[in-house]
Amino acid sequence: MNGFMHLPILPVVLPLIAGIVLLALRNAPLRLQRGVSLAAALALIPLAVSLLQSVSDGSHLVYALGNWEAPYGIVLVADRLTAWMLLTTSLLAAFALLYAVGAPSGGTSSHSTKPASGQVAGYPQPSPQMGEGANARPTPTYDRDGRHFHVLFQLQLFGLNGAFLTGDLFNLFVFFEILLLASYGLLLHGGGRLRVKAGLHYVVINLVGSTLFLFAVGTLYGVAGTLNMADLAVKLAATPADNVALVRSAGLLLFGVFALKAALLPLYLWLPAAYAHTSAPVAALFAIMTKVGVYSILRVYSLMFGNDAGAVAGLLDAWLAPLALATLALGMLGAVASTALKQQAAYLMVASIGSLLLAFGLGSTEAIAAGLYYLPHTTFATAALFLLADSIGRARGTLADRFESGPAMPGARVLGGLFFVIAMAIAGMPPLSGFIGKFMLLKAALASPLLPWVWSVVLVTGLVGLIALARSGSLLFYRTHSSHDPAAQTPTNAALAPVVGLLLLVAGLVIWAGPLSDYASATAAQLLQPQLYIGAVLGTTP
């Protein structure tokens, strides 16, 4: 244990220090900034692996900041769930950053609100490639589209990792705000009329959510006198009858905030436009950001409102699964109605949130394990689709990624092959990990009173998703004509390599499905025994 005593804080400190260093290097050559940012992002992977190994025996690593013991001081807590989320985040961030520094950007002007002749507003436009001779200049990449990209990227990781590690409800709010502030800058990075419009909606809605978060936290503090989540679990379980209604109201308000972050129905409307109009590497990184809301629902309501919570137990039992089913259904309908590939990817992400929260809403060990196994799958597959949609959009020139018949794109065979694999993964077709995750979910639903609803919605939406993706692939790769678009760009190896890397991670979930599903099951069992977490944080058990 002593060898790992400082391990829980390293995933938080590393991106923070990297962000500070990159801010000091803001006038340094871009190559140096890229090196620092990539080194920091890649270093998070072995840290997450070490953390996962150290908690795989079921132990909790508790780090008391300033050596102030809980509940009086701030603590970071690492368990199986935390390590699972950190590893997923670090792997995703590495490939998103590799795409940002290697793939050519659309070259959209941050000041332009009107497209030039032959261009499409709101979509990446072609930019000059590296030429020959004295006038040659580097190909514009996404981290060239504006200043401080790498600073914001590292601060986003700082907020994400902190949210997964914190054991304090107020500091969960603090890390939420850090990752949201960084996401505002990343979302708007590069500019563009539609990007700014979607970003404004995103900012306003999340500011409202942050305000409601403070109301909920203040109410719980006023009732319990603590914001340490383990201590709150103890205090809320002993809530006097006069305060039960107030605690339940604060808990439901907190759920509304987390549902907004997770894009659960009816609070998902901000996501499709924001994710469809931001840059590809940012949209790929944002694939994990909605999972922060999902994680918070799972963590807070299994710990503070679980079966041992007395009068406030089972707070979400009547809400979570039905809302998740509706989110899954409407997300797939949005995917069918989409008019562009990035927009479709955004709606598919909404649908995946429905699947995740449906698993967690069923509440059994088997269902939660299915959701935990499905979480990295949908994160990697959706991120790969965002990155591939960007390459397809540049290869189609002025048509971008819109679902319209156009000229055959350069590199169509490679792009089409990658699209086919991603579509199979997202639709949940065997033998890929999406099929395994959904099979685990359907099996877990056999013991649920919602069995007819779960089976019918999951199976029908899976078929609808397959039809939507088949239609998209047909429009993009088969309904073509012989004309040539001079704005079309051939996809580069640097742009396709991160997509392949993410698909290899999806393949890894299949190859090691046995041990990974066992880990997910052990994590679910640990979550349903909140007394272990409480005892580790408060020191009431060895």
Residue 1 has pLDDT above 50, yes or no: no
Residue 318: which pLDDT band, with cuts at 50, 70 and 90?
confident
For residue 103, the model assigns a pLDDT of 74
pLDDT score for 119:
38
SS3 content of the chain, % helix, strand, coil (to 5): 70, 5, 25
For the chain, percent of residues with pLDDT exceeding 70: 91
Query: Is the per-residue pLDDT at 501 higher than 50?
Result: yes
Q: Which tokens belong to 71?
A: 């509940």
Q: What is the pLDDT at residue 115?
A: 38
The highest-confidence range among 131-145, 248-262, 301-315, 480-494, by mean pLDDT, is 248-262
Classified as helix, coil or strand, 8 is helix
If you average pLDDT over every residue of the chain, what do you get?
86
Three-state secondary structure readout of 411-471: CHHHHHHHHHHHHHHHHCCCCCHHHHHHHHHHHHHHHCCCHHHHHHHHHHHHHHHHHHHHH
- With bands split at pLDDT 50, 70 and 90, how would you rate the model's confidence at 140? low
Q: What is the per-residue pLDDT for 541? A: 56
What is the distance between the alpha carbons of residues 282 and 416, in angstroms, rounded to a whole number?
Answer: 23
Most confident stretch, 29-38, 366-375, 470-479: 366-375
Q: What local confidence, expressed as pLDDT, does residue 110 receive?
A: 34
Quickly state the pLDDT bin for 418 (edges 50, 70, 90): very high
Does 266 sit behind a cis peptide bond, omega within 30 degrees of 0 on the bond before it? yes
Please give, one letter per residue, the 3-state secondary structure of 508-530. Answer: HHHHCHHHHHHHHHHHHHHHCCH
What is residue 120's predicted lDDT score, i.e. its pLDDT?
35
**Residue 374 to residue 416: CA distance in whole angstroms:** 25
pTM (predicted TM-score): 0.89
497 pLDDT above the threshold of 90:
yes
Mean pLDDT computed over 245-253? 91
> Strands, DSSP E only, in 37-165?
61-64, 75-78
Close Cβ partners of 2 (under 8 Å, ≥ 6 residues apart): none
407 membership: H or E segment, kind and range? strand 406-407
